[in-house]
Structure 1
Amino acid sequence: MEAVSRAREAASWWAGLSFRERRDHLLNWKRVIAARSDELGDVIHEETGKPVGDALLEIMLAVEHLDWAARNAPRVLKRRRVRSGLLAADQGAAVEYRPLGVIGVIGPWNYPVYTPLGSISYALAAGNAVVFKPSEHTPRTGEWLAAAWAAISAKPVLQVITGDGAVGAQLVAAGVDKIAFTGSAATGRRVMAACAETLTPVVIEGGGKDAMIVAADADLDAAAKAAAFGGFGNAGQTCAGVERVYVERAVYPEFLAKLAAIAESVEPSEDGPYGRMTVATQVDIVRNHVDDALAKGGRAVVGGPESIKPPYVFPVVLAEVPEDSTAVTEETFGPTVVVNPVSSLDEAVSLANASRYGLAASIFSSDRGNSLKIARRLRTGAASINSVLGFAGVPALPFGGVGDSGFGRVHGADGLREFSRPQSVTWRRLKAPMDVMSLTRDPAVLDRAIRIFRLRHARGAANSASSKWPGHPGA
């Protein structure tokens, strides 16, 4: 692929720059994006159907991450000394983080700037060149970002190639040094299989079935407002939003009524609180999940099948939906929310963790200490307390999931290291006090080293433990 060949040459130049020089380029790129954000917002609006205000919010979040990556790469990736330890006391030691080379980024259509820039910004800041394939549904957004780069540099450090999945497959097979993929878990598996042929490393964000937990002591107005934003915002097409809500039974009716009132007041439109479904086929998935929930005994509190009016889907609130329904088990990616009562927070955690996804979750409670304990028990890559998507606006926090939500991390220091390779370096700084790394070592020196080793690491071991381990004659 010619783009990868051009990127390989550009990567050599880019990696040869100092952190400061790369930072200056990235901050210049940031300024172009920010200054022309209205123009970019219009492109996003036209391609995705989201309101311009939402498009601008997406751009603002993406630029914050770009700025953080550019400014913090020197601190995170600079050479640092490490302790050598007693056995290697004659050695000095340090670790550096080196660029990988060329990164292939395959982006989604739901957040065509924020999500791919989570990989692109950090990969560039780490000293790599990037070849970016945007979704075939948002090609002009990707091309706009590449043109903005070209406005500040003639070097093809960032290039965009457009097309469908076949083009993405070509990028995977083109000899890049790492692939960053965002999309469905099924497609992610195919990307991994292709990468396995060449042992190309990959970071995957595969979506989510994100749960909100509402405790009996929660601010129910705030919780309902957040559930509506996380569930209906961007037409529900948010991988880390809200698709399931588990509410303690004591406040379940009140919470459900508050969420229903908000949902009933929301009408999607081109300039409304959210827009059309970006991809027509997603409408059928939403319809199937709503139908399955109702067929299995769930009830529609707001909306139902009649809410699906392509290209729009009006808010749907489903309640008491069986846990084996596709509306609970599979990613809907539409403006629907399932709300189920639970007898305890322990049950809520258990149900939240029952999903094969593990991207994000949220907890609403006035007890912050207990909320932190709950967050630690959740099998997710991120959690928000008394908010949804709180982590998305914090550039220093890593983002990624577990299970079918993928693996690897973007954003923060972990995101910078994700697109780097650690290189360990040692150097002899003095004569070894005990030279045991030799074919002609002195037996007396080795004996002394062994005595010191046992004094350091075996002292305090019980005699019975050392003589009765399994298989020992005295056991």
Structure 2
Amino acid sequence: MTTSVEATARPAARETFASLNPATGEEIGRYPVDGPEEVAAAVARARTGAAWWAGLTPGERKRRLGAWAALIARERHELCALIHEENGKPKDDAFLELLLSLEHLKWAAAHAGRVLKRRRVASGLAMANQTATLEYRPLGVVGVVGPWNYPMFTPMGSIGYALAAGNAVVFKPSEFTPGVGVWLADAFARANPDATSGVFQVVTGLGVTGAALCTSGVDKLAFTGSARTGRKVMAACAETLTPVLMECGGKDALIVAEGADIKAAAEGALWGAMANAGQTCVGIERVYVVRGLESAFLDELKAGIAELKTGVDEPERSYGPMTMPAQVDVVRRHIEDAIAKGATAVIGGADAVREPFIAPVVLVDAPEDSAAVREETFGPTVTVRTVEDVDEAVKLANATGYGLAASVYAGPTRRGTEIARRLRTGMVSVNAVIAFAGIPSLPFGGVGESGFGRIHGEDGLREFARAQSVTHKRFATPMDPATFRRTAKTMGMLDRYVGLRFRK
């Protein structure tokens, strides 16, 4: 059993909370509840760390982030065991999460210098006597509030890119997976013993800790969670005009169009809907199948589900328990509401909910106004609806306040890309599911209720930097209108310039 790292320097009377194994209820570790004072102290230390870290060259930061990645890789089995215990997912899935995290960390460290460096930009004809440069400078201290469903991969999309961009980070992991955050911060310190202690810190606790981080004066806050909580975070950050990056979930659709490989589409829907017990913001929750393909698709989906297993025994289960107990009630409500409104449960049903585990559930023809179609379910369920054509599929896929991601199966033609471009989402995978998340050079994020801002890729690096524009006057010009000594002749020349420059 993995235990927590408890700071002996903290007062013994401090309030603590337990991290529990969601499959067994066993206590894994105990962590302090950091309040406003502890959070403020962490941010103050981060100010010192940020000055030191930003003063390093991109190459020096790359070396230190590489040392961190190497240590994580060496101790990967220990970290995967901790992710498995705190989140409940199978160890193989924990390993995939670790692998993708390291790929992103390596990319961010390698490309930050190129993406953010100072570069010349065109001055334009009217300002030809000026040299113009653009550079992306570190923000300072970035606060990160992470989720419990992917306790390493998701927050590392902010942590790794913020560090690569030259910022210090204060990370508040979910109260359901605090040990993963503590482990990552400890690993960074061990990999970089010469680093100032404030570069990467973790504060642990419940809602009060996250609220304190929002109002602590960090230079930006990156949040992952529900849209409901996201609104509260934004309101708190507005008090100090703290900019925010919001990743607030989705209700992602998969479209099966003519020419699709039905077996591959069903396999993609199965993984997208059921992996990590459906607790994936970019997971598949809705499937729209063009008429004529629905029977074959459902047959393949049922065959795939028949091979899935849940339970406590690690070698036997395809996915784990619901990590957050309250989510069980949400999933149950969505299933019952859909069936009450006319949906058919071709796999599972309300009796599939045997907390903390939920067996796979497939709901056919759930009404579009049902909770299972309208709200984020975040469980191992999926709705399947037959549509007349791709136009109807696109219309229904877009008929949501969310706009995070989607998948399209349309065969080896350009048709899939054409359909993808019609979808109101931040990301789409064609003939695959969630592939975009594994490509470090692609930005990750959504629109609408799914939030705003981007992690990953060049956009993700710039998200944690401030653009600074600098001009340098190279020589004086005979006509300078930006002075009280300008003459009528100068304005006359400018008038003729405009007439010539912009005529058709």
Aligned residues: 459
Structure 2 unaligned segments of length 5 or more: list them. 1-39
1:131-160: CA deviation from partner (whole Å, max 9, x where unpaired): 000000000000000000110234220000
Could you tell me which of 235, 247, 256 is aligned with 2:277?
235
Distance (Å, rounded) in 1 between the aligned partners of 2:178 and 2:242: 25
Alpha-carbon distance between aligned partners in 1 of 2:346 and 2:113, rounded to the nearest angstrom: 52
Superposition deviation, residue 437 in structure 1: 1.6
- Matched to 2:224, the amino acid is T
What displacement does 1:216 show? 2.4
Aligned mate of 2:287, from 245, 268, 280: 245
Residue in 1 that maps onto 2:405? 360
Structure 1 residue aligned with 2:31: none
**Which residue identity lines up with residue 34 of structure 1 in the other structure?**
A
Shift of 1:433: 4.2
Match of 1:437 in 2: 482
CA distance in 2, matches of 1:199, 1:447: 45
TM-score (norm 1): 0.96
- Whole-Å separation in 2 of the counterparts to 1:369 and 1:45: 40
Q: Which residue of 1 aligns with 2:118?
A: 79
Q: Select the residue among 460, 463, 466 that pairs with 1:418.
A: 463
RMSD: 0.9
Q: How does 1:236-385 map to 2 (within 5 A)?
A: 236-270=278-312, 271=314, 272-385=317-430
CA distance in 2, matches of 1:368, 1:418: 34
Match of 1:406 among 451, 475, 488: 451
* 8 A Cα contact 1:62 1:114, kept in partner: yes
Deviation at 1:368, TM superposition (A): 2.9
User: Among residues 89, 93, 99, which one is paired with 2:128 in the alignment?
Assistant: 89
Shift of 1:264: 2.3
> Which stretches in structure 1 are left out of the alignment for 5+ residues?
461-475
Q: Distance in 2 between matches of 1:177 and 1:334?
A: 34
Give the Å deviation of 1:205. Answer: 0.3
Q: Is the 8 A contact 2:145 2:224 kept in 1?
A: yes
Q: Distance in 2 between matches of 1:433 and 1:273?
A: 75
CA–CA distance in structure 2, aligned partners of residues 366 and 257 of structure 1? 19
Asked if structure 2 preserves the Cα contact closer than 8 Å seen for 1:10 and 1:157, the reply is yes
Q: Distance in 1 between matches of 2:350 and 2:478?
A: 79
Aligned-residue sequence identity (percent) comes to 58
Question: What's the offset of the Cα at 1:118?
Answer: 0.2
Provide the rounded CA distance (Å) in 1 between the counterparts of 2:252 and 2:235: 26
- Offset of 1:429 from its aligned partner? 1.0
Out of 47, 50, 69, the residue aligned to residue 8 of structure 1 is 47
Aligned counterparts of 1:383 and 1:279: Cα–Cα separation in 2: 28
Q: Secondary structure at the match of 1:357?
A: coil
Asked if 2 retains the 8 angstrom alpha-carbon contact of 1:89 and 1:432, the reply is no
Structure 2 residue aligned with 1:386, among 422, 431, 438? 431
Residue 479 of structure 2 contacts residue 486 of structure 2 at CA under 8 Å; is this kept in 1?
Answer: no
Query: Aligned letter for 2:432?
Result: S
Which residue in 2 is equivalent to 1:206? 248
The Cα shift of 1:367 comes to 5.0
Distance of 2:413 and 2:227 partners within structure 1 = 33
Spell out, residue by residue over 1:158-193, the C-alpha distance to the aligned partner (whole angstroms, 9 max, x if none): 000001111000001111000000000000000001
SS at match of 2:289: strand
Return the letter of the residue paired with 1:181: F
Q: Secondary structure at the match of 2:292?
A: helix
